[in-house]
Chain A
Amino acid sequence: MELSYYPGCTAHSTAWEFNESTEGVFRALGWRLRELPDWNCCGGASAHTMDRVVGLGLPARNLAIAQRMGRDVLVPCAGCYNNVQKARAALEAGDPDARKIEDTLGFRWGKGVGVLSLLDWLERPGVIEALKAGVKRPLQGLKVVAYYGCQLVRPPRVTGRRSWENPTTLERACEAVGAQALDWSYKVDCCGADLGITHPDRAEALCSGLVARAREAGAQAVVVSCGLCQANLDMRQKGQGLPVLYVTELLGAALGVPGREKWWKKHLVDPSPLFR
């Protein structure tokens, strides 16, 4: 079981623990992740905001590399995943801008390899069972809410999601390792994305509201699959003290992945008390 792997720009900085825990979980379950050679930035939210061609072109180069490697590519960061999927959709629709990009980069997209988010991977046959079987430190009913935000699920014609208002894949994964995933109504609301940097007060209005709803639901932590969601919810919650975990950190803790104490140190709200 082997996948290409697109870590994204934040993997070695703000989302270091996302990258570490992703690699740890895949290793623990016997999957091999092979980093795409010489990948480039997917453009974040900035490329499509400023120029459509650049917005499609940056992820298209990564798709060209993935195609050359010949394996499905895992893109755990939701922001990156969304950009890559939008580029793939444009390439497959024969969009004129996408054609120009193919000509410029000297490749033709052939639909041979798939693009996977962590949701797509968790839904692969046998993964949930493997998680259940791999638990070394059951989470004893740790209460969490899953937060998907925007980019993993929308737009459904691009992400291929069948359930975009009430997805449940992360919940199934959390429960597989002994946590209790609570129901709540805000799992696909937006965290404010880059407003976290340009308008911190506005991001705070959105994020502190989301964290308050999570607390009302009874959650001890929020589980996410996006570097930006994690940073915003962790940093912009107005001191409510609710840890915000990458799903791979939660799974990694239950699977006993080594080195996890270092992940917790990267958080602003310390999640380590949840795992004592």
Chain B
Amino acid sequence: MHPFATEVQELSGQNLSRCYQCKKCTAGCPTVSWYEWPNHGVVRMIQRGMRDALLGSKTIWMCVGCDTCGTRCPNGIYLGPIMDALRSLARREGRRVPEPAVLAFHEAFLASARRFGRVHEATMLAAYKLKTRDFLTDLGVGLKLFAKGKIPVLPKGIQGKAEVEKIFRLGGRAAGRRGG
């Protein structure tokens, strides 16, 4: 097996060598139309060690982890944890992320969880909008939520913030830096 395949297999806990290219994963994937390659192609590319193409792709940031593929795969291969592993590798290697909005959202979300112990949606969404410098398209979510009285204004932190911080430190740097 290619060393890259071994690495992804270890990180994701998925046995890629079982894949026999039946394409069931691709057939049920809700986001495949925004991938550069179909799901079964991604498995093949990992087996062949196509590291650069995969780690720089949009595909790995478009998977929403719905576990449809793995549940239906006759060989029990879950692409969700595989995509998680590929994203961690991409972040660890400091690769450019071609889906900046997705990265910005996850970073804003985790920064909020790390700072307060719980996600505070109002400040999290504001931080996300700042990161993407996108104030025009889809003011939707934020504004509608405000209008509907769904966002409380003051952040409240939990007591166990120090424990939450320990969890973040135990994780790698892929989870983002402190603060924010």
| B64 A195 Cβ-Cβ under 8 A | yes
Given A45-B65, A50-B87, output 14 extra A-B contacts at Cβ < 8 Å. Answer: A14-B151, A43-B113, A47-B110, A50-B107, A52-B171, A54-B167, A150-B65, A154-B66, A192-B30, A198-B102, A200-B141, A202-B31, A206-B30, A266-B149
When chains A and B are docked, how far (Å) is the Cα of A12 from the Cα of B152?
7
**A–B pairs, 21, beta carbons within 8 Å:** A13-B122, A13-B145, A14-B145, A44-B119, A46-B109, A49-B65, A50-B87, A50-B107, A51-B174, A52-B171, A150-B67, A154-B68, A188-B68, A190-B68, A192-B64, A193-B65, A194-B102, A195-B31, A198-B101, A235-B140, A266-B149
Chain A contacts of B36 at CB under 8 A? none
Provided the pairs A57-B171, A58-B167, A104-B170 are in contact, do residues A41 and B71 lie with their beta carbons within 8 angstroms?
no
A197: CB under 8 A from chain B?
Answer: yes
| B105 A194 Cβ-Cβ under 8 A | yes
B20: CB under 8 A from chain A?
Answer: no
Interface string of B62-97 (1 = CB under 8 A from A): 001111101100000010000011011001000000
Interface string of B117-151 (1 = CB under 8 A from A): 11111100100100000000110110011001111
Which of B1-9, B37-45, B46-54, B158-166 lies at the interface with chain A? Answer: B158-166
Q: How far is the CB of B170 from chain A (nearest CB, A)?
A: 5
Q: How far is the CB of A241 from chain B (nearest CB, A)?
A: 16
A265: CB under 8 A from chain B?
Answer: yes
A196: CB under 8 A from chain B?
Answer: yes
Query: Which of A46, A156, A192, A265 is the one whose CB lies under 8 Å from B106?
Result: A46
A39: CB under 8 A from chain B?
Answer: yes
| A14 B121 Cβ-Cβ under 8 A | yes
Lowest 7 A-B CB distances belong to which pairs?
A57-B167, A51-B175, A54-B171, A154-B67, A46-B109, A46-B106, A190-B66
Chain A contacts of B171 at CB under 8 A? 51-54, 57
Chain B contacts of A202 at CB under 8 A? 31, 34
Q: How far is the CB of B4 from chain A (nearest CB, A)?
A: 18
| B101 A199 Cβ-Cβ under 8 A | yes
Interface residues on B, range: 35 or more
Chain A contacts of B70 at CB under 8 A? 154-155
A169: CB under 8 A from chain B?
Answer: no
Interface string of A1-13 (1 = CB under 8 A from B): 0000000011011
| A50 B91 Cβ-Cβ under 8 A | yes
Query: Which of A40, A45, A189 is the one whose CB lies under 8 Å from B117?
Result: A40
A100: CB under 8 A from chain B?
Answer: yes
B56: CB under 8 A from chain A?
Answer: no
Give residues 112-171 of A contacting B (CB, 8 Å).
149-150, 154-156, 164
Quick one: closest B residue to A9, CB to CB?
B119
A25: CB under 8 A from chain B?
Answer: no
Quick one: closest B residue to A194, CB to CB?
B105
A28: CB under 8 A from chain B?
Answer: no
Chain A contacts of B168 at CB under 8 A? 54
Quick one: closest A residue to B168, CB to CB?
A54
| A57 B170 Cβ-Cβ under 8 A | yes
| B175 A105 Cβ-Cβ under 8 A | no
A61: CB under 8 A from chain B?
Answer: yes
Interface string of A187-230 (1 = CB under 8 A from B): 01110111111111010001000000000000000000000000
| A50 B88 Cβ-Cβ under 8 A | yes
Q: How far is the CB of A53 from chain B (nearest CB, A)?
A: 4
B180: CB under 8 A from chain A?
Answer: no
| B30 A189 Cβ-Cβ under 8 A | yes
* Max chain A Cβ within 10 angstroms of own Cβ: one of B105, B125, B149, B152: B105
Q: How far is the CB of A52 from chain B (nearest CB, A)?
A: 6
When chains A and B are docked, how far (Å) is the Cα of A223 from the Cα of B167?
35
B172: CB under 8 A from chain A?
Answer: yes
Quick one: closest A residue to B11, CB to CB?
A52
Give residues 9-33 of A contacting B (CB, 8 Å).
9-10, 12-14, 16
Chain A contacts of B91 at CB under 8 A? 50
| B113 A266 Cβ-Cβ under 8 A | no
Chain B contacts of A105 at CB under 8 A? 163, 166-167
Q: How far is the CB of B147 from chain A (nearest CB, A)?
A: 10
A48: CB under 8 A from chain B?
Answer: yes
Query: Which of B128, B160, B166 is the one whose CB lies under 8 Å from A38?
Result: B160
